[in-house]
Amino acid sequence: MTSSNQNTELKTIIIAIDGYSGCGKSSTAKAVAARLSYAYIDTGAMYRAVTLYFYRHKVDYLSKGQVRKALTSILLEFKFDETTKSSHIYLNGENVESLIRQMHISERVSNVSTIAEVRHFLVAQQRLMGTKKGIVMDGRDIGTVVFPDAELKVFMTAQVPTRALRRQKELKSLGQEVELSEIINNLEKRDLIDSTREESPLRKADDAIEIDTTNLEFEEQVTKILELMKEPQSIA
Ligand code: DC
């Protein structure tokens, strides 16, 4: 092995993982981060926590004044949970990790994430989290907007029925029984809003590597990304 290859393997980088809902981004990103001892940030959880706050406080999304005022009252933090061995999101000191996964939040979050003020508020925080590198961040605009210079960008895709089944399983593990048709409806609606919104729409960065997870086992997804890290041509 040449010394330049060794340097590539040892380099501490930013890994940006983007893609549609339910492609396995979060679970894959979490596992990749754990294997590398990197920090993991689920940016979807941040949009969901803001949505929960807006829902509870009846914030009118169309009122810029109300949105700006609400954002000044929101403090988001990630804290490591020893029981589940994963990081949980806190909204103003309250652990809301499970609450933000409820269907009524999933139904509202895409609309909240079209609001420019919300995106600027969260993107600024996400960039700060990456200043020391050694981070895996997943979302919709990580490789295009948050970290356009990320050394490794992955864009995950999967067919809708596969994504819906995965989401149903995830919800079941949280104690929620949801019909597959309702999940498919929600995924398709969110795909449309996420990819057509004016402010940083979901799209594959030109230099992102696409991984279709439809026929991949979870472990294969994780291994694929870890292998990409060892290929100098995949790392910017
Ligand atoms: O990954 P998720 O399904 O938990 O994300 C919830 C919503 O948040 C998703 O519909 C779009 C939005 N989102 C976004 O606009 N930008 C991100 N970086 C992450 C999520």
Query: What was the pLDDT predicted at 21?
Result: 86
Tell me the per-residue pLDDT of 153-192, one tens digit each, with 9 for 90 and over: 999 999 999 999 998 998 898 898 999 999 999 999 999 9
34 Cβ contact partners less than 8 Å away, ≥ 6 residues apart: 40
Atom of ligand 1 nearest to the CA of 193: 10
Residue nearest to atom 11 of ligand 1 (CA): 110
> Is any atom of ligand 1 closer than 6 Å to the C-beta of 194?
yes
* 180, two tokens: 């597959």
Distant-in-sequence, close-in-space partners of 84: CB < 8 Å, separation ≥ 6: none
Residues 6+ apart with CB under 8 A from 127: 146, 147
Rounded to whole angstroms, how far apart are CA atoms 26 and 17?
9
Q: Ligand 1 pocket, 119 CB below 6 A? A: no
Residue 4 pLDDT: 42
Residues of the chain with pLDDT under 50: 1-8
Q: Which residues of 164-199 are buried (b: 16+ CB within 10 A; e: fewer)?
A: bebbbebbeeeeeebeeeebbebbeebbebbeebee
Q: How far apart are CA 45 and CA 36, in angstroms?
A: 22
Report the candidate in 150, 137, 141, 156 with the shortest Cα–Cα distance to residue 41: 137
Q: Measure CA 178 to chain center.
A: 22
167 Cβ closer than 6 Å to some ligand 1 atom: no
Q: What domains does the chain contain, in order, with CATH numbers?
A: 13-230 (3.40.50.300)
Q: Is 8 in the pocket of ligand 1 (CB under 6 A)?
A: no
- Ligand 1 center to 35 CA (angstroms): 24
**Where does residue 107 rank: exposed (0-12), middle (13-18), buried (19+ CB within 10 A)?**
middle
Amino acid at 161: P
- The pLDDT value recorded for residue 11 is 82
* 86: number of Cβ within 10 Å: 17
pTM value is 0.91
* Unique residue bearing structure tokens 């926590």: 49
